[in-house]
Amino acid sequence: MKEQLENKSTPLFPISTAAELLGISVHTLRMYEKEGLIVPFKKDSNQRRYSRADLERIQCVRRAINEDKISIEGIKRMLALIPCWSIMKCSDKEREACPAYINMEKPCWAYNLEDNVCAKMNCSECEVYNSFVECNSIKDYMKQNWGK
C-alpha cells in the first residue's frame, strides 16, 4: 500500500472527464502534454489519469495562453528556469551532464533523463513538478530566495 489516502496528486480522471471538467478538447490536453507542459499519471496500459493538481495546473496554462497571451514556447522557457538542480541537490558532475541544467528550452520534466536522480522517479510524483503548480510560483520562489 504505497498510497492509500486520496490527495491533490492522486490520479483520478480519464482524459475525457478531464477535458469535460476543463471545457476543452481531448486533443488539446494531449497537445499540452506533448509540449511538455504537463505530465499526467499513466497506467500500465498507457492510459492517462489526471489528478486535481493536474487540472489546476492546466487551468494555469490555459490562462497563460488565452488571457495573458504567453505562447506555449514562452511557458516552457519560464518553467525551464525552475532550479531543479538545487531542489534535487544534484552534484556538480550531475549538473554538467544534465540537459535540464545546461539548456533552457523546456522544463526538466520534458526531458527523458536516464543517467541521474530523475531516471529512477516518475516526474508526476516529483517535488520539482509538484512545487510549481500555480503560475505565480516561480516569481514567489525567487522572492523567497532573494529576500535579503
Partner DNA sequence: GAAAGTTGATATTTATAAATACCAAGTATT
Partner DNA sequence: AATACTTGGTATTTATAAATATCAACTTTC
Q: Which residues bind DNA (CB under 7 A)?
A: 14-17, 24-28, 30-32, 43-48, 62, 65-66, 69, 71-73
Q: Quick one: 41 or 101, whose CB is closer to a copy of itself?
A: 101
The answer to whether 75 touches 61, Cβ cutoff 8 Å, is yes
Nearer to a copy of itself, 16 or 86 (CB): 86
> Which of 12, 80, 97, 117 contacts a copy of itself by CB under 8 A?
80
Residue 4 sits at φ, ψ, to 5 deg, of: -95, -50
Buried b vs exposed e over 14-46: b needs ≥16 C-beta within 10 Å? ebeebbeebebeeeebeebbeebbbbbbeeeee
Confirm if 83 and 46 have CB atoms less than 8 A apart: no
Q: Considering only residues 22, 24, 81, 97, which one is a binding residue for a copy of itself as defined by CB under 8 A?
A: 81
* Interaction between residue 32 and a copy of itself (CB under 8 A): no
Q: Pick between residue 15 and residue 81 the one whose CB is nearest to DNA.
A: 15
